[in-house]
Structure 1
Amino acid sequence: MKEAVERIARLWPSSGKVLVLTGAGISVPSGIPDFRSPGGLWSRYDPMRVATAEALANSPAEAWRFILDARDVMAAARPNAAHEALAELERAGLIEGIVTQNIDGLHQRAGSLNVVEFHGTMSGWRCNGCQAPKDATRAMEVTPETAPWLCERCGAVVRPDVVFFGEPIPLDALDKSGQLASGAELALIVGTSCEVAPANVLPQLVRQQGGRLAEINLAASRLAPLCDAAVAAGAEEALPLLARLLLDQ
């Protein structure tokens, strides 16, 4: 593994213009199973029944069973060594920013500042009707007996500020991620299979503009053939090693 990580370190631009794209794999060591993996949330719920705007409007009790489960899984998780390594690299000026497909907030809890949450976050809450923001502390107090949480203002169901199936990616996330990709000299893919659009387009944009690609994944992503270097290992092992190599240069 060390030689493969060293190959990524040699690609690293001195400018620090690096975009990091992260997915579910970086948070698995923190206790959050990939939604699509055995034991993940989609093995227990049909996403089309619980994670769409229609489900929230028409079956709020069923949707909230899923929401409570997701809330509790993510609240119990803690940043792991991979999240901490990325935060350390950002503090050193060696990465420009992170675009994450995860909704767990672990990058920020590890200390990363420039994080684009492509699919939203479980840390924010709002009414699905009038869009009024809601207190995250109150969200943690909802129980199976008191769910679903209904808006005190308009009576519509309250939801986490995540992108449900069939909903568009927020324009702000699209804009910020595009800016990071357009200026990057290297894109590092971590813990994602790069199957989900449009996030998987970002590394390709970097490549099209003359930048390099690298990845750290237990299993090769669909963009692996385009990568200049790849590490077949868990992010919690490879990223701390990469950070040490870069910071010691």
Structure 2
Amino acid sequence: MSQSPAQDPAGSGPHFERCARLIAQADGLLITAGAGLGVDSGLPDFRGSAGLWRAYPALGRARMDFTEIACPDAFVAHPRLAWGFYGHRLQRYRDTVPGPAFGILRRIAARLPQGAFVFTSNVDGQFQKAGFDMERVVECHGSIHHLQCLQPCREAIWPADDFCPQVDDDACALLNAPPRCPHCGGLARPNILMFGDWGWIESRTSAQHARFEAWRRGVDRLLVIELGAGTAIPSVRLFGEGQRAPLVRINPGEPAVSSERDVSLAMGATEAMRGFGAVLGLDPCNPADGG
């Protein structure tokens, strides 16, 4: 894989100019995003046990890694622990204010005839919270803001709006009653694709994919901007690369690109988007710029 000189943030000016030219040539923007974008909004990074255990010491004391708590079996064996983990995350995502990168992405999208579509592996709902059209988001791993039956007893998905988790942070344990399936009364779980998951109901995500395909057919000159998507779980990278369109990859740790037409920026999403805003003349304090 080739490595763009844009990996040096101090020398990124010319690469921002190149990104500006790519935006000017595009009629539609695909935003692909992984966990690194959430980190820029202050959300924890669960990649690796160390990050998980810092955020949830009780899981560290139990020596449970992410694959053990983020799986349907955890809801069977340790329902209050599993819902303590997901309930805490649900409340944190509800409380989190999306970082400045989201607003600049919206301003860029507003300049293009076909606007933008989002493809993300994040389950936090931050794009919708930042004002992106919910009909133009693909959540390839589902959403923590929606629930389904753990069994599942039927193909039903419903919003988690009525569930207000109360969590003992030190024990990572749910204190109040967990959500229940309205059809069979059994335990509910987040509508998220987990590890070793054969019960995930994918109909909501499939409908999102169908809307993306319809939008994509109307875009002649696509540009892909990828933010914080790593190679450990490459869903986001592979989807963006599969569009066969110019790609801007923003990633401080894994910025390599494979085509000369692509641009690599070895930095976080906020730093990169502020660089975009500067070369595009976007005033971060001016609502008329689309933020």
TM score, norm. by length of structure 2: 0.72
How far, CA to CA, are the matches of 2:67 and 2:48 in structure 1?
17
User: Where does residue 146 of structure 2 map in the other structure?
Assistant: 124
Give the paired residue count. 244
Unaligned runs of 5+ in 2: 1-11, 168-173, 283-291
User: Where does residue 82 of structure 1 map in the other structure?
Assistant: 101
How far, CA to CA, are the matches of 1:172 and 1:41 in structure 2?
31
Return closer, same or farther for 1:60/1:112 CA change in 2, 3 Å cut-off: same
Unaligned runs of 5+ in 1: none
Q: Is residue 21 of structure 1 aligned with residue 36 of structure 2? A: no
SS in 2 for 1:140: coil
2:192 to 133, 151, 162: 162
Per-residue CA distance 1:71-106 (angstroms, 9 max, x = gap): 233223111111111122223336431111111111
CA contact (8 A) 1:33 1:39 kept: no
User: Where does residue 272 of structure 2 map in the other structure?
Assistant: 238
User: Where does residue 224 of structure 1 map in the other structure?
Assistant: 257
SS in 2 for 1:240: helix
CA contact (8 A) 2:229 2:237 kept: no
How far, CA to CA, are the matches of 2:49 and 2:165 in structure 1?
29
Q: CA deviation at 1:147?
A: 4.2
How far, CA to CA, are the matches of 1:6 and 1:104 in structure 2?
32
How far, CA to CA, are the matches of 1:164 and 1:115 in structure 2?
20
How far, CA to CA, are the matches of 2:49 and 2:273 in structure 1?
25
User: Where does residue 3 of structure 1 map in the other structure?
Assistant: 14
**Larger of the two Rg values belongs to structure:** 2
User: Where does residue 238 of structure 2 map in the other structure?
Assistant: 201
| Residues 167-178 of structure 1 mapped to structure 2, 5 A cutoff | 167=197, 170-177=205-212
Runs ≥4 in structure 1, deviation > 6 angstroms? none
When structure 1 is superposed on structure 2, of 81-90 and 149-158 the one drifting more is 149-158
SS in 2 for 1:226: coil
When structure 1 is superposed on structure 2, of 56-65 and 34-43 the one drifting more is 34-43
CA contact (8 A) 1:85 1:240 kept: yes
TM score, norm. by length of structure 1: 0.82
SS in 2 for 1:30: coil
SS in 2 for 1:187: strand
Return closer, same or farther for 1:172/1:146 CA change in 2, 3 Å cut-off: same
Return closer, same or farther for 1:247/1:15 CA change in 2, 3 Å cut-off: farther
What is the RMSD of the two structures over their aligned residues, measured on CA atoms? Answer: 2.9
Return closer, same or farther for 1:40/1:179 CA change in 2, 3 Å cut-off: farther
